[in-house]
Structures are given as C-alpha cells and as structure tokens.
C-alpha cells in the first residue's frame, strides 16, 4: 500500500489507477487484482494503511486526563488528514476494509467512555469529535484557487484581497465579517482548528460534570 499512498499524496485519488500503480511497482495490472478487486477497495485499503500510523502515534495517549487524551488523539488525526486531503473522503467509508479506521473510532470512544456519560451521549460525543476533525481537515485540504497553485498570487496577497473585498461590504448587513477582519487576514489554520476543538471539549467537560464524572 505504500506506493498507492505515495500516488495519492502526489496527485490525488484521480491519479490512483491500477495501471499507474502497476507501473510504480514494476509489474502487471493483473497482479494487483490478487490483492484488491476494485479501485474503491484500493482506496479504502490505502486510507487504512495511513490510519495504521495514526494508531501508532496515539497509542501512548493514556493519562489521568481523558480530555487531554481526546485532544491529542483528535489533533493527530487532523494532522494526518490535513497532510493528505484525499484521506478525509475515505476515512471509515468501509469498515470491513478499514479495520484501523474502526480501531481509531474505538480509541476515541474509549476515551469518551471514561467520562461516565450515558450510551447515547457517549455516541454523540465520539461522533462529534471525529466529525469535527474530518470536516475541518478535509475543508482545509481542498484544492486551493488556481492563482495560488500557479504562484501568480501568494497566500498573503490572496487574504489581503479577500479582506479588502469584505471591508467594502455594508457593515450593517455583514457585522460578523467586519468583526473578524483584523484576525482573519493572518490567521493560522491549525490554531483555528485547535480553538474549535477546545470549544467542543469544553462543552463535553460541562456535560460530563453534570453527570458527576
């Protein structure tokens, strides 16, 4: 799966074909069919291959503070998906082909179990954390505008222009956008993700406290 992951990292899921992978491996297309029956299965297994490393990186997160462990486990997955935009679309898509993704879900769930919430709230909490991580990371991993890709515009210039456009909007109609103009231009995507995660965990902390955990 290593070469499949490399192809995905370099050019995205459209570049991962049996012919391209066979060329990388130096063999024939037919040989790949011994291991997978379709491109979908190949993508699922490639995603699961990456998740094996995520599991390794989070294996030692078991402290006396379940919230710290949840935070670290979530950030590790975020970094993996942010580095590999294709991963978010295939995470836990087919748990039969993705045992490591299922194990990661179990790992998050076990940290949530330590909070002493009822089963339904435990399910909601674990799902909310994973959904937030995958959603934000996949959003950040979207293909940037062509002008950024081809280098005709820098990231700083792009945000400067965006802020200027927002500044021209009617502040009575767009009060929120005007309130964040100063911070949006130089914001850090990872800091923004962590801040949102901390808000989610703060709410979970209050919920756990209400149940006496």
What CATH number does residue 86 fall under? 1.10.357.10
pLDDT confidence of 174, banded at 50, 70, 90? very high
Q: Give 130: exposed, middle or buried? Use CB within 10 Å, 0-12, 13-18, 19+.
A: buried
What does 52-100 look like in DSSP terms, one character per residue?
Answer: HHHHHHHTT---S-HHHHHHHHHHHHHHHHHH-TTHHHHTTS-TTT-HH
Can you give the residue range of the structural domain that contains 69? Answer: 61-142+180-210
Q: What's the pLDDT score for residue 71? A: 95
The answer to whether residue 8 sits within a structural domain is no
The answer to whether residue 131 sits within a structural domain is yes
The answer to whether residue 118 sits within a structural domain is yes
Q: Distances in Å between the alpha carbon of 25 and those of 87, 153, 166?
A: 22, 37, 50
Q: What's the pLDDT score for residue 34? A: 47
* pLDDT, tens digit (0-9, with 9 covering 90-100), for 19-62: 666 555 555 555 565 466 567 777 787 888 888 889 999 998 88
* pLDDT, tens digit (0-9, with 9 covering 90-100), for 81-98: 877 777 777 777 766 777
Residue 158: strand, helix, or coil: helix
The answer to whether residue 158 sits within a structural domain is no
Is 18 a residue whose pLDDT tops 90? Answer: no
The answer to whether residue 69 sits within a structural domain is yes
The answer to whether residue 50 sits within a structural domain is no
The answer to whether residue 72 sits within a structural domain is yes
- The domain tally of the chain equals 1
pTM here? 0.77
Spatial distance between the Cα atoms of 204 and 118, rounded to a whole number of angstroms: 13
The answer to whether residue 198 sits within a structural domain is yes
Q: Distances in Å between the alpha carbon of 21 and those of 12, 38, 51?
A: 13, 13, 20
């Amino acid at each position: 799966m290593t070469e499949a992951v490399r192809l995905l990292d370099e050019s995205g899921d459209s570049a991962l074909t049996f012919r391209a992978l066979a060329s990388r491996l130096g063999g024939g297309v037919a040989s790949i069919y011994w291991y997978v029956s379709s491109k979908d299965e190949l993508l699922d297994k490639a995603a699961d291959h990456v998740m094996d490393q995520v599991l390794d990186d989070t294996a030692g997160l078991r402290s006396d503070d379940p919230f710290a462990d949840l935070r670290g486990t979530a950030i590790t997955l975020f970094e993996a998906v942010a580095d590999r935009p294709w991963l978010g679309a295939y995470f836990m898509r087919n748990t039969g082909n993705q045992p490591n993704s299922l194990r990661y879900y179990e790992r998050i769930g076990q940290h949530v179990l330590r909070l002493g919430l009822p089963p339904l709230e435990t399910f909601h909490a674990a799902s909310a954390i994973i959904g937030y991580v995958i959603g934000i990371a996949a959003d950040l991993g979207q293909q940037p505008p062509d002008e950024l890709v081809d280098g005709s515009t820098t990231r700083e210039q792009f945000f400067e222009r965006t802020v200027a456009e927002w500044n021209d909007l009617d502040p009575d109609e767009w009060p929120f956008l005007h309130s964040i103009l100063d911070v949006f231009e130089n914001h850090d995507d990872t800091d923004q993700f962590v801040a949102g995660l901390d808000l989610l965990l703060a709410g979970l902390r209050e919920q756990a406290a209400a149940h006496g955990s």
